């Protein structure tokens, strides 16, 4: 064999080796050649920051953290954790959370049902002027749950809540005036307070107001208003109101029913917050 063919053969082998190496490099996954590994973030998450604030005693953060655990929003639902953070915020004088704890104890939500604990938390909140707690505390006195039954105390707290525009307080104040429970019976006052609660969308007040207008208590009989309030209460899910609406219709003219339905269709509730402020 001469030198030229040998040289040519060696050159060909070198070209093949270089080509194979180049093709192998091209075939490698991009992640192995161009993408660097991700760098772990050292920044705390929003939840971590919230928890740190709560642990440092921030009542607003404790409130938010309790809500997250109570609703399972962003974290697994955990009633014991919700109560823990609610208690810490309530212990700092947060009236809204004191009222919420009262409600939780009254209904056994995330905690054992305990009327005395409910009264304690409602009272803490009510004494700060929180209208929702005032109405609930009045209800506890009216029924003797967690406290000795006391009509005068019930009326006192109902009045305080109602005067702030709380619908539940307005309803119960209308109720005590209708029944003469702790106050002299007064149909005009009952209509006044039922109206205020009914205008906020309270179905119980709407139903009771319907009955008063139908019977003509506190004023002349008004079948149109009786039907319209029964219609609104029924639309809000009040079962007895549905039945009342049916038998009211049997004693009314088509024109009266049409007018009552027009009034109901034009109704727009004036919703207020638990502390009495209007939204």
What is the per-residue pLDDT across 190-230, written as a single tens digit (0 to 9) for each? 999 999 999 999 999 999 999 999 999 878 899 999 999 99
pLDDT at 278: 44
Q: Does residue 48 surpass a pLDDT of 80?
A: yes
Average the pLDDT over 145-158 and give the result: 98
The neighbour count for residue 137, using CB atoms within 10 Å, is 31
CA distance 272 to 132: 11
Average the pLDDT over 226-250 and give the result: 95
pLDDT at 246: 94
**Across all residues in the chain, what is the average pLDDT?**
87
Q: In terms of pLDDT, which residue wins out, 226 or 42?
A: 226
Q: How confident is the model at residue 260 (pLDDT cuts 50, 70, 90)?
A: very high
Q: In terms of pLDDT, which residue wins out, 92 or 274?
A: 92
Q: How confident is the model at residue 57 (pLDDT cuts 50, 70, 90)?
A: confident
Q: How many residues does the chain have?
A: 279
**Bridge partner list, 272:** 278
Q: In terms of pLDDT, which residue wins out, 42 or 239?
A: 239
pLDDT at 35: 56
pLDDT at 25: 47
Q: How confident is the model at residue 33 (pLDDT cuts 50, 70, 90)?
A: very low
């Amino acid at each position: 064999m001469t030198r030229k063919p040998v040289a040519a053969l060696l050159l060909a082998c070198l070209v093949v080796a270089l080509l194979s190496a180049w093709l192998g490099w091209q075939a490698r996954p991009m992640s192995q050649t161009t993408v660097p590994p991700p760098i772990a973030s050292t920044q705390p998450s929003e939840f971590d920051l919230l928890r740190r604030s709560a642990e440092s005693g921030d009542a607003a953060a404790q409130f938010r953290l309790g809500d997250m655990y109570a609703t399972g929003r962003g974290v697994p639902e955990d009633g014991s954790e919700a109560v823990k953070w609610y208690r810490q915020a309530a212990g700092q004088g947060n009236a809204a959370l004191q009222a919420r704890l009262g409600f939780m104890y009254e209904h056994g939500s995330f905690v054992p049902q305990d009327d005395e604990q409910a009264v304690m938390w409602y009272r803490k909140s009510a004494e700060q002027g929180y209208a929702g707690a005032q109405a609930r505390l009045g209800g506890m006195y009216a029924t003797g749950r967690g406290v000795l039954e006391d009509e005068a105390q019930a009326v006192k707290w109902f009045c305080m809540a109602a005067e702030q525009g709380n619908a539940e307080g307005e309803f119960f104040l209308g109720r005590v005036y209708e029944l003469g429970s702790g106050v002299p019976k007064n149909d005009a006052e009952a209509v006044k307070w039922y109206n205020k609660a009914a205008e906020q969308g309270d179905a119980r007040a709407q139903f009771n107001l319907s009955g008063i207008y139908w019977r003509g208590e506190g004023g002349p009989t008004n079948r149109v208003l009786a039907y319209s309030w029964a219609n609104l209460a029924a639309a809000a899910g009040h079962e007895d109101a549905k039945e009342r609406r049916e038998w009211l219709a049997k004693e009314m003219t088509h024109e009266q029913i049409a007018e009552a339905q027009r009034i109901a269709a034009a109704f727009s509730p004036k919703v207020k917050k638990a502390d009495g402020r209007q939204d």
